[in-house]
């Protein structure tokens, strides 16, 4: 009798989903900023505090925003990837130096290499709030019209760079 | 040496469990008494070894042996002794050991108290329990060994999660696990009966007290968890529809359905296929809960350390246990008889409504819990399903359940006359509606949700009163016979009444809290005061206090009502030294009518604190209701007919006995 098989069938479907679930990360939260204009900001440059950069200065080209801090251990893990990437890609990477001390941040860049076209200072984390930063490092891709196209929370890996960031940048550039 | 002994005896237990799951089963098949009688001693020895392992782990905690990884991760030399013992089940590995211990306790109890069962039936039951034991012991030994060494040893431990350093939290997990694992007994009875082809009224009778016992533990565990969350998490909520809460609630709902459908199977021989399915599902959902908590597929406040290999192991175990039992069900269930016929309006039909509503409610919780996972797996985005969904769906499903809860106990088995019953319950209906409206008017707010919730509570009480009056003083009965009649009411019936009254008390508490609670977040410094619901809360002192392993800022709040002192509470914000995460200890003053709740949030740069003050009318009724449901369960399972020797007698039962 078929109807006595229904519980088994329902359970097997459930089990498939549970198996798929093991591969997913429920803590990965999409940003509400995706496909929305990047929040405006005015920030001092880390290297030249008297110089200011605004969001609108960066319109007209696709760019990467990488939130980092010298106190952030995972940032250290992903940093070599950015240094390497900056060498082989024309897309500018802007750092957002988040809740950090200027001397510590500058020493960090000196020691580990500076992949950034420029680093913007966000000492009190105000820009971070607008961008919904809740874990450092975080990475955003913002297109020529100033629209957020991608966000990654946590350190990037070679896989994320290869499978997500690079294809997206190719599309945005092409 | 001690951890190695603990590790070794777990292997002994595993070996015995393997033998226990094979030999008695083969014995039952071959009808070999020598093989079947081995089941009990095997189960007892397995229990001894698991208890020894648990003792070894406890000893490691007591001796602060930080060369054991699990001890180093979950304890600290400053941790008070009381919590050091409780830390044994404070993490994943140790809680698995506790889980296995409880399987053994239940298995030994079944062996001890079910000696009247036919030997092949008992042998099969113990064999199935043995298989479950094998699964969990393997899981522990392969992926989650609590005795793993940490060499070189840590200088000190990382401390027990501060959330768990609370007396309520110490007994919450064991009670919950007793409930989860307790359903394995009903599961084993069902599988054994499917294997042996003896699904009859006697099977239902034997299953009932075990199911009720497991349900009582689960009710206690869930209630305790809710009470703990209310006191410790600092925002005054008592249920959050968190995936892990849902994981404990689903077996509870199915267990409740099972208790009711077992009544029909025992009394009328009906619903048997359905009852078996519920028995399989109650334990399956317990296992699913273990998977959800320990695999990390859903995000929850109750996160255990996540390890994909553990998730995979439990999933495979789930597929084996649930898949094989449901296959057995599909194979054997078509041969189960239908039982006696019943009318459209009868106790059976009302219990059918009960079962349908509880099953749909379980499905709704399951759907809401796993929906984010389904969507994510299908690549359709990430969402979370929150309290608005659950609250709405639940209220809608509970209403018809409560309606039949009032009618069912007064209805006769087989067939009853709806008109006559309506006459008996008419006054209860009117009184309960008026009482609900009056209560709302008195409290100053009449809304559909409040009136509905209050009506449910009053309806249950009113119909119970009609029921009790009918039993004590039937039409034409004499008042001086009431005591004798009361003595004739079985414990099972008293249990049913107590549990239903518990639902009424619970509903009343929920309706009052959800409608009339008042909360306010205010900025307060010493000397400031705020007022809600006629109570004035004044912060009179703020000082630092030292605990054994934490420091706390403690506020002193004097609460007055129209100038008269009511209570003084001392909420704290604790920082535990080792893990350095802040913990809120709220200051609560409770009585039967209301709770006054003060919790300290964040300190502002100005030195003032964000303080949350709340007035929660009748909130203790929520847990009071849970306790009454539990008490009902205890009464029902103490009924003497489970203790006296009864064979397959009374398959038809008497129509007047009410034990649904």
pLDDT 10s digits, B231-257: 887 778 888 888 888 999 999 999 999
Structure-token pair, residue B415: 């067939």
Alpha-carbon separation of residue B584 from B42, B229, B303, B609 (angstroms): 47, 11, 19, 13
B334 in A contact zone (CB under 8 Å): yes
Work out the pLDDT band at B201, boundaries 50, 70, 90: confident
Residue B311: list chain A partners with CB under 8 A: 22
Evaluate whether the domain defined by A32-173 bears CATH number 2.40.340.10: no
Name which of A24, A134, A153 to mutate to probe chain B: the one with the most chain B Cβ atoms within 10 A of its Cβ.
A24
* Mean pLDDT in residue range B600-625: 91
Count of helices and strands (H, E) across chain A: 6, 7
Residue B627 located in a structural domain: no
Taking the mean position of all CA atoms in its chain, how far away is CA B615?
A: 27
Contacts of B377 (CB under 8 A, 6+ apart): A17, A20, A21, A24
Percent of chain B's residues with pLDDT above 70: 95
Contact flag A24-B296 (C-beta cutoff 8 Å):
no
d(CA B269, CA B526): 68
Nearest Cα to Cα of residue A73 among A29, A112, A131, A44? A112
Cα Dmax for chain B: 83
Does pLDDT of B332 surpass 50? yes
| Cβ atoms < 10 Å from Cβ of A37 | 12
B307 in A contact zone (CB under 8 Å): no
Q: Which residue segment(s) compose the domain that B491 sits in? A: 417-516
Residue A21: list chain B partners with CB under 8 A: 295, 297-298, 373, 376-377
Question: Using beta carbons and an 8 Å cutoff, which residues of A are at the interface with B?
Answer: 1, 4-5, 7-8, 11-12, 14-15, 17-22, 24, 26-30
Does pLDDT of B130 surpass 90? yes
Q: For A2, which residue in chain B has the nearest alpha carbon?
A: B330
Nearest Cα to Cα of residue B425 among B377, B469, B457? B469
Taking the mean position of all CA atoms in its chain, how far away is CA B123?
A: 29
d(CA B52, CA B67): 20
Residue B651 located in a structural domain: no
Work out the pLDDT band at A1, boundaries 50, 70, 90: low
What angle, 0 to 180 degrees and rounded to 10, lies between the N-to-C axes of helices B243-268 and B167-196?
A: 40
Does pLDDT of B651 surpass 60? no
Examine the domain organization and report whether B87 and B177 are in the same domain.
no
Structure-token pair, residue B167: 């007396």
Work out the pLDDT band at B647, boundaries 50, 70, 90: very low
In the predicted model, what is the mean pLDDT of chain B?
A: 89
Residue B354 located in a structural domain: yes
User: H/E element holding A104?
Assistant: helix A102-112
Examine the domain organization and report whether B219 and B312 are in the same domain.
yes
Examine the domain organization and report whether B541 and B610 are in the same domain.
yes
Examine the domain organization and report whether B174 and B207 are in the same domain.
yes
Q: Kindly report the nearest CA distance between residue A33 and chain B, in angstroms.
A: 15
Work out the pLDDT band at B660, boundaries 50, 70, 90: very low
Examine the domain organization and report whether B142 and B170 are in the same domain.
no
Residue B557 located in a structural domain: yes
Name which of A2, A3, A4 to mutate to probe chain B: the one with the most chain B Cβ atoms within 10 A of its Cβ.
A4
d(CA B590, CA B594): 6
Work out the pLDDT band at B341, boundaries 50, 70, 90: confident
Q: Which of residues B118, B133, B161 is at a domain's end?
A: B161
B605 in A contact zone (CB under 8 Å): no
The whole model's pTM is what? 0.83
Residue B454 located in a structural domain: yes
Name which of B320, B325, B326 to mutate to probe chain A: the one with the most chain A Cβ atoms within 10 A of its Cβ.
B326
Report yes or no: B410 and B660 within 8 Å, Cβ to Cβ: no
Examine the domain organization and report whether B3 and B94 are in the same domain.
yes
Instruction: Return the residue matching tokens 């009071």.
Output: B624
Task: Output phi, psi for A136, to 5 deg.
Answer: -105, 140
Examine the domain organization and report whether B132 and B210 are in the same domain.
no
d(CA B96, CA B71): 14
Question: How does strand A138-142 pair with strand A148-153?
Answer: antiparallel
* Mean pLDDT in residue range B80-97: 91
Q: For A21, which residue in chain B has the nearest alpha carbon?
A: B297
3-state SS record for B596-632: EEEEEEEECCCCCEEEEEEEEECCHHHHHHHHHHHHH
Predicted local confidence at residue B461, as pLDDT: 96
Number of folded domains that form chain B: 4
Does pLDDT of B650 surpass 50? no
Contact flag B382-A28 (C-beta cutoff 8 Å):
yes
Count residue pairs from A and B with Cβ separation < 8 A. Answer: 72
Residue A22: list chain B partners with CB under 8 A: 295, 297, 308, 311-312, 315
Examine the domain organization and report whether B176 and B59 are in the same domain.
no
Examine the domain organization and report whether B358 and B299 are in the same domain.
yes
Kindly compute the dihedral angle of the four CA atoms of residues B215, B221, B224, B225, in this order, to the nearest 10 degrees. -130
Does pLDDT of B504 surpass 50? yes
Cβ-nearest to B326 among A8, A22, A30: A8
Does pLDDT of B502 surpass 80? yes
Question: How does strand A118-122 pair with strand A93-98?
Answer: parallel
Contact flag B315-A19 (C-beta cutoff 8 Å):
yes
Does pLDDT of A87 surpass 80? yes
Structure-token pair, residue A36: 């929305």
Does pLDDT of A112 surpass 70? yes
Q: Which of residues B581, B598, B618 is at a domain's end?
A: B618
| Cβ atoms < 10 Å from Cβ of B373 | 21
Does pLDDT of B306 surpass 60? no
d(CA B293, CA B300): 8
Predicted local confidence at residue B298, as pLDDT: 67
Percent of chain B's residues with pLDDT above 90: 64
Examine the domain organization and report whether B2 and B51 are in the same domain.
yes
Work out the pLDDT band at A174, boundaries 50, 70, 90: low
Give B345-355 pLDDT, tens digit per residue. 999 999 999 99
Does pLDDT of A102 surpass 80? yes
* Mean pLDDT in residue range B115-120: 90
Predicted local confidence at residue B431, as pLDDT: 95
Cβ-nearest to A7 among B295, B329, B373: B329
Cβ-nearest to A4 among B297, B330, B377: B330
Report yes or no: B369 and B247 within 8 Å, Cβ to Cβ: yes
Report yes or no: B382 and A28 within 8 Å, Cβ to Cβ: yes
Examine the domain organization and report whether B386 and B430 are in the same domain.
no
Nearest Cα to Cα of residue B358 among B501, B257, B263, B483? B257
Examine the domain organization and report whether B188 and B107 are in the same domain.
no
Highest mean pLDDT among A70-84, B193-207, B468-482, B489-503: B489-503
The strand pairing partners of A143, in sequence order, are none
Contact flag A17-B373 (C-beta cutoff 8 Å):
yes
Predicted local confidence at residue B646, as pLDDT: 46
User: Counting beta carbons within 10 angstroms of the beta carbon of residue B458, is it exposed (0 to 12), middle (13 to 18) or buried (19 or more)?
Assistant: buried
């Amino acid at each position: 009798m078929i109807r006595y098989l229904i519980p088994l069938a329902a359970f097997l479907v459930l089990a498939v989903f549970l198996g798929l679930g093991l591969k997913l990360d429920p803590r990965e939260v999409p940003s509400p900023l995706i496909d929305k204009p990047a929040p405006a900001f005015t920030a001092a440059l880390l290297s030249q505090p008297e110089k200011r950069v605004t969001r609108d200065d960066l319109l007209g080209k696709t760019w990467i925003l990488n939130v980092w801090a010298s106190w952030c251990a995972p940032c250290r893990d992903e940093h070599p990837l950015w240094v390497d990437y900056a060498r082989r890609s024309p897309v500018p990477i802007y750092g957002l130096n988040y809740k950090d001390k200027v001397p510590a941040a500058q020493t960090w860049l000196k020691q580990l290499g500076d992949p950034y076209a420029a680093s913007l200072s966000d000492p009190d984390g105000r820009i971070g709030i607008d961008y919904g930063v809740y874990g450092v490092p975080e990475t955003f891709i913002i297109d020529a019209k100033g629209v957020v196209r991608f966000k990654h929370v946590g350190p990037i890996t070679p896989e994320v760079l290869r499978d997500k960031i690079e294809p997206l940048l190719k599309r945005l550039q092409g | 040496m001690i951890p190695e002994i603990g590790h070794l005896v777990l292997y002994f237990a595993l070996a015995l469990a393997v033998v226990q799951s094979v030999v008695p089963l083969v014995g039952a098949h071959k009808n070999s008494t020598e093989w079947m009688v081995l089941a009990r001693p095997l189960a007892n020895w397995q229990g001894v070894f698991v208890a020894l392992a648990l003792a070894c782990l406890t000893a490691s905690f007591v001796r602060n042996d930080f060369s054991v990884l699990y001890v180093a991760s979950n304890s600290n030399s400053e941790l008070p002794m009381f919590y050091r013992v409780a830390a044994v089940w404070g993490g994943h590995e140790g809680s698995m050991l506790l889980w296995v211990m409880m399987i053994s306790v239940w298995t030994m109890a079944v062996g001890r108290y079910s000696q009247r069962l036919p030997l092949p039936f008992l042998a099969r039951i113990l064999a199935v329990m043995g298989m479950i034991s094998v699964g969990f012991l393997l899981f522990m030994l392969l992926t989650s060994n609590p005795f793993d060494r940490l060499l070189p040893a840590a200088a000190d431990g990382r401390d027990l999660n501060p959330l768990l350093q609370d007396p309520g939290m110490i007994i919450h997990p064991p009670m919950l696990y007793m409930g989860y694992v307790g359903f394995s007994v009903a599961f084993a009875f069902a599988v054994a009966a499917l294997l042996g082809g003896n699904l009859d009224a006697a099977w239902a009778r034997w299953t009932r007290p075990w199911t009720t016992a497991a349900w009582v533990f689960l009710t206690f565990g869930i209630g305790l968890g809710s009470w703990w969350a209310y006191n410790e998490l600092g925002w005054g909520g008592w249920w959050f529809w968190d995936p892990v809460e849902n994981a404990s609630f689903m077996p509870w709902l199915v267990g409740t359905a099972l208790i009711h459908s077992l009544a029909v199977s025992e009394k009328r021989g009906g619903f048997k296929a359905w009852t078996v399915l519920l028995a399989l599902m109650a334990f399956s959902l317990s296992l699913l809960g273990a998977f959800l908590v320990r695999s990390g597929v859903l995000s929850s406040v109750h996160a255990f350390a996540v390890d994909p290999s553990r998730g995979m192991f439990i999933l495979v175990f789930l597929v084996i246990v649930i898949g094989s039992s449901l296959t057995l069900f599909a194979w054997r269930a078509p041969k189960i008889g239908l039982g006696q016929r019943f009318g459209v309006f009868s106790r059976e039909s009302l219990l059918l409504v009960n079962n349908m509503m509880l099953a749909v409610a379980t499905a709704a919780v399951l759907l809401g819990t796993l929906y984010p996972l389904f969507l994510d797996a299908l690549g359709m985005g990430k969402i979370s399903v929150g309290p608005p969904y659950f609250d709405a769906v639940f209220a809608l499903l509970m209403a018809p359940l409560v309606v039949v809860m009032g009618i069912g106990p007064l209805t006769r088995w087989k067939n009853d006359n709806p008109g006559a019953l309506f006459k008996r319950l008419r006054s209860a209906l009117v009184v309960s509606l008026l009482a609900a409206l009056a209560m709302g008017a008195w409290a100053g707010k009449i809304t559909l949700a409040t009136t509905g919730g209050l009506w449910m509570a009053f309806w249950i009480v009113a119909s119970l009163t009609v029921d009790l009056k009918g039993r004590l003083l039937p039409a034409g009965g004499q008042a001086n016979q009431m005591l004798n009649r009361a003595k004739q009411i079985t414990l099972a019936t008293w249990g049913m009444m107590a549990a239903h009254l518990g639902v009424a008390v619970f509903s009343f508490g929920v309706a009052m809290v959800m409608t009339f609670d008042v909360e306010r977040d205010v900025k307060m410094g010493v000397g400031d005061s705020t007022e809600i619901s006629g109570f004035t809360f004044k912060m009179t002192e703020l000082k630092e206090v030292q605990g054994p392993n934490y420091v706390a800022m403690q506020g002193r709040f004097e609460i007055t009502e129209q100038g008269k002192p009511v209570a003084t509470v001392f909420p704290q914000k604790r920082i535990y030294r080792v893990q350095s995460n802040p913990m809120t200890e709220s200051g609560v003053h409770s009585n039967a009518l209301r709770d006054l709740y003060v919790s300290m949030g964040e300190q502002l740069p100005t030195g003032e604190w964000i303080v949350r003050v709340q007035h929660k009318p009748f909130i203790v009724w929520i847990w009071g209701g849970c306790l009454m449901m539990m008490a009902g369960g205890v009464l029902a399972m103490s009924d003497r007919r489970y203790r006296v020797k009864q064979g397959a007698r009374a398959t038809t039962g008497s129509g007047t006995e009410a034990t649904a």
